[in-house]
Amino acid sequence: MRRTAIIAASLIVAGIQSAPAQTDLSAYANAEGYLDVQKLTCAQLAGTWQGDADLLTAWYSGWYNGLARKHYLDIKKSREAEHEVIQHCKAHPDQLIIEAIAVVFKDMRAALGIRMQP
């Protein structure tokens, strides 16, 4: 019994030590506290806290919706898009987030049969 407890404790400690450290988004801010959202990488998004990732993807959503002059939020699609962007970013850590968003949005539009006009 004691041996099993020691092995279990060792596995837990090993898992904690091998887990990647999360980084606050503020670590990427300039001296005034601003993030250059056009230069953030997928590695930075995938490596931050979930709350920071939620904040950042909500900001991007607002930015894109503002550009499209849309003033509605589809919560289900927004969460799905966030998940897809994060998954894409985990697979492509060197890509810029804005490039990852473009890829994911293009794929989502294609899946819905939405064609963009040039």
DSSP string, 51-106: HHHHHHHHHHHHHHHHHTT-----HHHHHHHHHHHHHHHHH-TTSBHHHHHHHHHH
- Whether 51 shows a pLDDT value over 50: the answer reads yes
Mean pLDDT of 3-26: 59
Give the other-Cβ count within 10 Å of 16's Cβ: 8
Is residue 34 included in any domain, yes or no? yes
pLDDT at residue number 7: 52
The verdict on residue 15 lying in a domain is no
Domain region containing 70: 22-112
Residue 70 pLDDT grade (very low, low, confident, very high; cuts 50, 70, 90): confident
Contact call for residues 81 and 104 (beta carbons, < 8 A)? yes
- Note whether residue 14 is domain-resident: no
The domain total for the chain is 1
Q: 6-10, 38-42, 68-72, 81-85: which has the minimum mean pLDDT? A: 6-10
- pLDDT value, residue 65: 83
Pairwise pLDDT comparison (10 vs 65), residue with the higher score: 65
pLDDT-based confidence at residue 94 (cuts at 50, 70, 90): very high
Do the domain assignments include residue 93?
yes
Instruction: Read off the CATH number of the domain in which 60 is found.
Output: 1.10.890
Task: For residue 28, give the amino acid letter.
Answer: Y
Q: Is residue 98 part of a domain?
A: yes
The answer to whether residue 9 sits within a structural domain is no
pLDDT at 19: 53
Which position has the higher pLDDT, 25 or 13?
A: 25
